[in-house]
Amino acid sequence: MRTPLLSLVLATVTSAPVALATPPASAADDIGTTPARSPAQLVAADEERVSHRGLERGPEASPHPAMPAPIATEPPGDWWVLHAGVRPRLGTFGGIAALGLAHERIERFYGVLSLSLIRNDAGTHYGGVQLALGRNLSDDFGGIAQIGVGENRARSFAGVGQLALAYNRTLDTAAVFQVAGYNRARDFAGALQLGGYNRTDDAFVGALQLGGFNHSRGDFTGIGQLGVVNAQGQDPFDFDLRGDARFAGLVQLGAVNSAGRFRGLVQAGVSSFSHDFAGGLQLGVMGAGAAEFRGLAQVGLLAMAGRSYGAQIGAAAVALDSHRGLQLGLAANYAESVHGAQIGIANIASEARGVQIGLFNHARRLRGVQIGLVNYAEDGVLPWTAIINMGFGDEPSSDPGNYARTARAAHDG
C-alpha cells in the first residue's frame, strides 16, 4: 500500500527520560550547543543503561530487567509531512514541520518549521525557521531565522538572522541581523548587530553595531559603531592599544569611543581615544587622545597626542613628542617640538619652528617668530622680549624632537 502523502507520527515519552551523553567540547569552542543524536545512538545508550542497571542489582537480579519507556527511534522518511511529540528525538526529518511540546532533538532537519515549546536542538538544520520559547541550538544552521524568547546558538549560521530577547551566540555568521539583549559572534558578516551588548571576537564585516555597548575585539569593517560605549580592540579600557586589529569605517559615535588603529572619518563622543588615528575628525567633549594622530583636527576640552599631524583644538592642546600643524589652545599649548603655529594664552615648546602667538610664549630653540606680551627664546635675538621676538637657530635637526632630547641628555650628563 502506498504511504499517504500526509501522515502524522506521535512520539511520546511516558516514563523517565533517557540519559544522553554529551560529547566533550573543545577547549577552544565554548559555544555550548548540544548536537542531536541519531536513533542508533539512542538505542545504544538505552541498552548500555539497562545493562548497567542489571549489573548494579547483582546476581539476584531478575534475568529480565525492566526496559525503559518506548521512544520514537525510527527516523521518518522524506515522505513524512509532520512529526509531533512531547520529546521527539529523530535522526533525519524531511518535510514541512516537526513539533515538540517539550524538548525536540533532530540530527538532520530539512523542512519549513522546527518548533519546540521549551528547547529545540538540531545537528544540521536546513529549512525555514527554528523556533522555541526557550532555547534554539544548532551546529549548522542554514535557513531563514532562529527565533527564541530565551536564546539562540549556532556554530555555523547562514540565514536572515537570529532574534531573541536575551542572547544570540554564533561562531561563523553570515546573516542580515542579530537582535537580542546580548549578541556575540566570532566572525560576523552581515548588516546589523542590534542589542544592549554587541560583541565580535575576530572580525565584524557589515554595516552597523548599534546598541548600548559595541565591542569589536578584532577588526571592524563597516559603516560604524553607534552606542553609549564603542570599542575596538581586545581591552577597550587599555589605552596602550597596539596591535594589527583596526577600525575601518565612517564613524564611531557614542559617549565613550576607543580604537586601536582608527581608519575612518569621525570618532566623536564625550571621550574619544585611539592608539593610532588616521582619518578626519577626532572629537571629545571632555577629551580626545591618540598616541599618534594624523587627521584634519583633534578637538576636545583636552586635545592630547604623542605625535600629531593636523590641528589640535581645545582648552588645552598637548603633543608629548612632536606636532606639525596648528595648536589652538584657549588656555595653553604644549609640544616637545612644534612645526607650524601655537596660538593661545600660553605657548610652550622645547623647539618651535614657525610662530607662537599668545600672552606668554616660551621656546628653548626658536626658528621663527614669537608675538606676545612676554616672549622667551633661549637662542632668540634676545632671551626675553615684549611684543615680538625672533630666532634663527642652528641647522634644523632631522628628527623633530631631537633638539629637546639632546638638550636633556646634556643637562643630565
Flag whether pLDDT at 154 surpasses 60.
Answer: yes
Domain limit, last residue, from 132, 159, 186:
159
The 8 Å CB, 24+ separation contacts for 150-153 are 151/180, 152/180, 153/31, 153/32, 153/33
Look at residue 2 and give its three-state secondary structure: coil
Burial of residue 121, with CB atoms counted within 10 A of its CB: 0-12 exposed, 13-18 middle, 19 or more buried? buried
pLDDT tens column, 8-24: 333 333 322 333 333 34
Q: Which three cell numbers stand for residue 169?
A: 551566540
Please report the pLDDT score of residue 4 as a whole number.
36
Domain total in the chain: 2
In a domain, 245, yes or no: no
Distance between CA atoms of residues 197 and 184, nearest Å: 8
277 domain-assigned: no
Residue 239 lies in a domain: no
pLDDT recorded at residue 48: 54
- Domain assignment present for residue 109? The answer is yes
Asked if residue 237 belongs to a domain, the reply is: no
pLDDT, tens digit (0-9, with 9 covering 90-100), for 290-328? 999 999 999 999 999 999 999 999 999 999 999 999 999
What would the pLDDT profile of 378-397 be if each residue is shown by its tens digit? 988 899 999 999 988 754 44
Beta pairing class for 384-391 and 256-377: antiparallel
Instruction: From 159, 181, 215, give the residue that closes a domain.
Output: 159
Residue 178 maps to a domain: no
Cell numbers at 56, concatenated: 548494579
The residue out of 137, 159, 181 marking a domain boundary is: 159
Range of the domain at 148: 8-20+29-159
Look at residue 225 and tell me if it is in a domain.
Answer: no
- Whole-prediction pTM value? 0.75
Lowest model confidence (mean pLDDT) among 1-10, 48-57, 62-71, 280-289: 1-10
Is 50 part of a structural domain of the chain?
yes
